[in-house]
Structure 1
Amino acid sequence: MLALILILSGCSAKTKPPVTPEDQKDPLRADEAPEEEISQEYRRLYSGELTTINYLVTVSTNEFGEAANLVDTLVDYDQYGVVKPGLATEWSVSDDKLVWTFKIREGVKWVRHDGSEYAEVVAQDFVDAMEYILDSTNESASANIAYSVIKNAEKYYNKEITDFSEVGVKAKDKYTLEYTLERPTHYFLSMVTYVCFFPVNGQFLEEVGESFGTDNENLLYNGAYIMETFEPQNKRVLVANENYWDKENVYIKKIISTYNKEASTLAPEMFARGDIDNADIPSAILDEWMNDPVKKDLIRPNRTGYYTYFYAFNFDPKFPEEFEPDNWEKAVNNVNFRKALFHAFDRRAAMLTAEPYDPDKRILNTITPKNFVDVEGVDYTQLEPLAKFTNTDSFNKDLALEFKEKAMEELKGKANFPVKVLMPYNTGVVEWANRAQVIEQQMENLLGIDFIDIMIDPKPPTGFLSEVRRAGNYALLECNWGPDYADPETYTDPFTPDGTYNWPHLAEGYKEKNNKNKYENMINEAKAELVDTKKRVNLFAEAEAFFIEEAFVIPYAVSGGTTGYVASRLNPFESQFSPFGVASERFKGQRIMEKPMNSEEFTIQLAEWENKRAEALTGQ
């Protein structure tokens, strides 16, 4: 530790040391504390391990959030959400809106994990990355995002064509990159900060083959940080990239992430002791911290985000026989059964497990959040028929019981009651465990144990996504989705057959003449509208309203961090901001503060930030 302190002393800023709880009790000691340097070393705990660092295949926030600090994108965003140059210094679009041209920044270097130079970043790197992503044998989870817009990309992915030169991505010269789209896509620029538009060095990719992204040595870096150490279920260490093209805006010089399966429980006290620089504060101890004269000044609310949370019904159950998957499948295909659960779900009671002080700010009745897109000044969520869900709490005891009776009558002799409802949760999130118990008790008490038997099932954080949701190992599950680009399609597309949550098309009773689910047809109609933006957005609103009306999901909340409150030595208003892509995951531009921001300071600075953001967006 002494050696570490000596090493870090060269990358610090002059200021007072953090004031300890003992110092705060003694004003004289606090005032007389000598000036010393604040180490720009950021320390945190984690419990959910990365399953890959191959950013070309993942869509997990946990994984691409790490990659965002290692690899740069064509464009970036400032702290107010205004687009700015990244690896591209300028860009343009053709008059027919089909061809986008990016000028690549010259002199940017790819470096190895030890910081040694490997090659220059060039336009071909984006072409090579796209060829990898569109090779279906690589099983990239983000391929559908790319082939939804790029000319001939889907045909190449499906092997209808085999010559990649026919795909609409070209290196016109060393520093000129060109994308040709299938159709005009007004939101294309907002897409290029997502992982499927990351670059990769083709020569390195060929050299390491299937080992690419298996560890930090089988990866190249052109971003603000290099992964110096990668020891799964031990620690990861990122260090500032000394060859980075914009290194003067990288203030935090080292990021140390330490694994502990009990991270969510241990982190608060470790933060209070000064051992780490960030800790989520679970609701179970929030009152204790709020009532402590010292600790209350260490915590603040999390800023609400654009990730939305919902409870998904599984129409393709793959869970063990003890939970009766066949019986669940019969029940979930009955719309009145789903509506009984839909109206029995008290989202406010559920949210109190994460945000006991101001739950209403995070409650959401739709999939797409408010303030994401608008039509001629009208927020998307206020478009009819979606507005009736936006403005009405679906929790309704009378309706829940009414639909229960209908479901039991219609399923008599077909399904067995009570229906077992397998509801797993991630043990790495304290609030989730509490919320699962609240939901179980609340819904069973309302609907009766003669109707449902909710079976909560704790699962470890590492591999949770792949072993639970992707494996279909659930009946009802809390899920989330974040936007990839600035169009409502980004919130509806995940529920199509090619999307992440690709089960709704299996629901019985919704097939139309073309043998596709009605929801899929509604989405396709909206996607096909490329000229009239107002009509396009309204069609998406109609599709989302139908999706909610039929109780395919139960909308729940917007994001507010893992928990509603955090203790952190980072200023949330210094970080890059964007509702979509990876920019908000970057540490670039942030500094470690002398002391955490408290709730009062957060409220004041949030108002200032919102005003400055409005001004910045108006001036674009």
Structure 2
Amino acid sequence: MRRIGLIGLLLVSICLAGIVRPVQAQQEDRQEHDYVGFYGMDPETFDYLYTYKTVDSLHFANFIDGLLEHDTYGNLVGAMATHWEGNEDSTIWRFDLRQGVYWYTDEGEEYAEVTAQDFVTGLQHAADFQSQTLYLVQSVIKNLDAYVNGEIPFSEVGVKAVDKYTLEYQLNQPTPYFPTMTTYSILLPVNQSFLESKGLGCKLGEPEYSSCQFGVAKPESILYNGAYFLKNFTSKSIIEYEANPNYWDRDSVYIPNVKLIYCQQADPTTLFLAFDRGEIVSAPLDVNNPPLVKSAREKYGDSIFVTDTNGSVAFVTFVFNRQQYHSPLDSRQDVSPKTNQQKADTKAAILNTSFRRAIMRAIDTESINMQVVGEELKKISLRNTLTQPTFVQTSDGDCYGKLVSDSLKGLNPVLYSKQLSLDDGQMAFFNPEQAKEQLAIAKQELIAQGVTFPIYLDVIINSESDGSFRSAQALKQSIEQHLEGEVLINLIMSSRENLLASKTAELVNTDLVFSAGWSPDYGDPKSYLDILDPDNGDLLKSFGLNRSAIQSQEEKELKEQIGLYVFKELKEAANLEVRDMDKRYERYADAEAYALDQAYFIPLYASGGSYAVSRIIPYTKSYSPYGLSPMKFKRMQLSDRIVTLEERNKRYEKWSTVRQEQLKSKSINGAVEN
């Protein structure tokens, strides 16, 4: 779920429309409808304990239940667990499991009861196969790192089945947010007997990728304890789910059948026309098609709404150690027009803090966002932080975004005024005057180093996406205009294939990564801020830098030069605060403020904030800015008619009132997650 480029965000948002097909209600007051929708990329694997990719988790989130999930209001509620509690210092967590819940084959045949041992098995399989999300818990669960490094047997790792229905985790340090981590895939269960039946290479403790068939992209490769079975997966054609009739929470499942049809390049206009024909349940409204917008407003004016934003964020990153100046696939493609001297000048400029601050303040993010969502909505989804500003709040009710803005004001009262707010829906950093001032400081420092102006920045973009092209043009115009030609942008038109070929830091072929995105995995700011870690952060590749295990001496010195290790000290100080959550959030806010001030990245916008029409009954599905719950069809309800804006607003008012009351109640006992 976590790594989402802008391409992925667009595919998810565009291709999740669907057809409503009514089926006979099981209860007199209960409406059930089938869902027929679209998907844009094939899942690669159903080994849910291994993969980190959204294209996989969008599906298996509906097949496998973990310990906890989220309800409609964002509360953590039991799934396989009925009760959970930690010890006094949150180093030991116990979960009481729901009894009488079974694993089923894809044909609906009962296989075995779900027990505590299945969660132990799941973690060992994840560790054996070097799960792509293992790092989330490798340093959290006691002795897990030692097992991964081959130093101890798995029996000494801090997870055990106390009895058939009691699961216990022992942690390396107090981790009060650990329950939120159980909503992600790394801590899901698997039945050992079934796992090891899928090939010799699946045997616990003796992993062999080539001879293990668990989780291959076929319905029969996994067992199911969740709301749905996968009944059919035909590559680049169709994916079908069927509701589990024996599901423990069957009353929360209102969609009996899900059918997803492959649509690699389905554009918003095509989807809207399908909606207009009554074929699909929801569709985006393409603001770049004025005749269609006019027609839609005339017909659906009382039903067009603006989609909610969420915890994911899109941003620009600087490439601090660029080594590639053409496509990794073909040296004749995507070639930088810069001379060797210009390449050296660009690198020196990017390493200069004032230069990065100037770029950050020269970018009119409204103009960029407008290319996708239109003039009317250009502000709504703007984001000014890495962490969603409402992600967590203190016991006094202060949202995380306010903590970050307060910290920035303390760092530099000149750059950050008393009026600074980092709330969504505004441009907190765009300031042409400050941009020129910061550039003047940078220019003086850089000329002393022998750098020649103007500075040329290559920006590589996907030529197959009209929205990406328009947004990049807006970026170019904004920077060149507000920095008065002292910085010039070379737009390099590439293909999706070439862009995806930049798999390592050495292969990143751009000076600004204009397609970075992130979505959190659990309910703590750590899930966002860890991506900037100079040793193991997920953004290192986008910075053109390697992890510490394989970094060069030059890369280590570059990290020190730009202050990434100072950031790490701030981040680690926050992570060590586990007793006072208010202080924890304040310290994470200090770390994020430092990263923003250093302009390692430039926030652009969140996912959402665009026009749509829908028959999905609003505020019925699970709500959370992190974890697998938002991907579930469980709880979602569909109507046989279009939901009007009036109905939507009434539902939101009721949902929001209940949610705020619940948050207020929680905050009495300390800081709370979103």
Distance in 1 between residues matched to 2:662 and 2:395, nearest whole Å: 19
Q: Say if 1:331 and 1:415, in contact at 8 Å, map to a contact too.
A: no
3-state SS of 2:57 partner: helix
Distance in 1 between residues matched to 2:55 and 2:462, nearest whole Å: 17
Distance in 2 between residues matched to 1:176 and 1:366, nearest whole Å: 40
Distance in 1 between residues matched to 2:69 and 2:463, nearest whole Å: 32
Amino acid at match of 1:149: V
Cross-structure match for 1:401? 436
What's the CA shift for 1:498? 1.8
Distance in 1 between residues matched to 2:500 and 2:583, nearest whole Å: 36
Alignment of 1:46-445 (within 5 A): 46-135=39-128, 138-159=129-150, 161-208=151-198, 209=202, 210-216=212-218, 217-265=220-268, 266-285=270-289, 288-289=292-293, 292-317=297-322, 319-321=324-326, 322-323=335-336, 327=344, 329-355=347-373, 356-377=375-396, 378-383=398-403, 384-386=406-408, 388=416, 390-391=421-422, 393-412=428-447, 413=450, 418-425=455-462, 427=464, 431-445=467-481
Amino acid at match of 1:233: K
Residue deviations 1:5-45, cap 9 Å, x none? xxx77545899xxxxxxxxxxxxxxxxxxxxx987221222
3-state SS of 1:352 partner: helix
Cα 1:259–1:447, aligned 2, differ >3 Å: closer, same or farther?
Answer: farther
Bigger CA drift: 397-406 or 100-109? 397-406
Sequence identity (%)? 30
Cross-structure match for 2:655? 609
Amino acid at match of 2:231: E
What's the CA shift for 1:501? 1.3
Distance in 1 between residues matched to 2:538 and 2:178, nearest whole Å: 20
Cα 1:544–1:565, aligned 2, differ >3 Å: closer, same or farther?
Answer: same
Distance in 2 between residues matched to 1:466 and 1:554, nearest whole Å: 24
Q: Say if 1:51 and 1:463, in contact at 8 Å, map to a contact too.
A: no
Cross-structure match for 1:566? 612
TM-score scaled by structure 1? 0.86
Distance in 2 between residues matched to 1:93 and 1:318, nearest whole Å: 48
Distance in 2 between residues matched to 1:489 and 1:453, nearest whole Å: 34
Distance in 2 between residues matched to 1:316 and 1:97, nearest whole Å: 40
Cα 1:612–1:140, aligned 2, differ >3 Å: closer, same or farther?
Answer: same
Residue deviations 1:542-593, cap 9 Å, x none? 1111101111000122331xx6122222123000112221112111112221
Distance in 2 between residues matched to 1:610 and 1:140, nearest whole Å: 37
TM-score scaled by structure 2? 0.79
Amino acid at match of 1:40: H
Distance in 2 between residues matched to 1:403 and 1:619, nearest whole Å: 45
Q: Say if 2:22 and 2:640, in contact at 8 Å, map to a contact too.
A: no
- Number of residue pairs matched by the alignment: 584
Cross-structure match for 2:208? none
3-state SS of 2:371 partner: coil
3-state SS of 2:355 partner: helix
Cross-structure match for 1:546? 594
Amino acid at match of 1:381: G
Structure 1: state its 5+ residue gaps. 1-7, 16-36
Bigger CA drift: 296-305 or 313-322? 313-322
What's the CA shift for 1:204? 2.4
Distance in 2 between residues matched to 1:607 and 1:435, nearest whole Å: 34
Q: Say if 1:316 and 1:472, in contact at 8 Å, map to a contact too.
A: no
Cross-structure match for 1:488? 525
Amino acid at match of 2:385: T
Residue deviations 1:326-346, cap 9 Å, x none? 645444222233222211111
Distance in 2 between residues matched to 1:336 and 1:248, nearest whole Å: 57
What's the CA shift for 1:458? 4.9
Amino acid at match of 1:548: L
Bigger CA drift: 114-123 or 277-286? 277-286
Residue deviations 1:438-469, cap 9 Å, x none? 22333233335562224254544x99767569
Cα 1:13–1:426, aligned 2, differ >3 Å: closer, same or farther?
Answer: farther
Q: Say if 1:38 and 1:594, in contact at 8 Å, map to a contact too.
A: no
Q: Say if 1:571 and 1:590, in contact at 8 Å, map to a contact too.
A: yes
3-state SS of 1:257 partner: strand
Residue deviations 1:133-169, cap 9 Å, x none? 223xx3422111112421122232333x231112111
Cross-structure match for 2:621? 575
Q: Say if 1:224 and 1:588, in contact at 8 Å, map to a contact too.
A: yes
Query: What is the aligned-residue RMSD (CA, Å)?
Result: 3.1
Cα 1:371–1:171, aligned 2, differ >3 Å: closer, same or farther?
Answer: same
Q: Say if 1:99 and 1:178, in contact at 8 Å, map to a contact too.
A: yes
Q: Say if 1:47 and 1:264, in contact at 8 Å, map to a contact too.
A: no
Cα 1:579–1:465, aligned 2, differ >3 Å: closer, same or farther?
Answer: farther
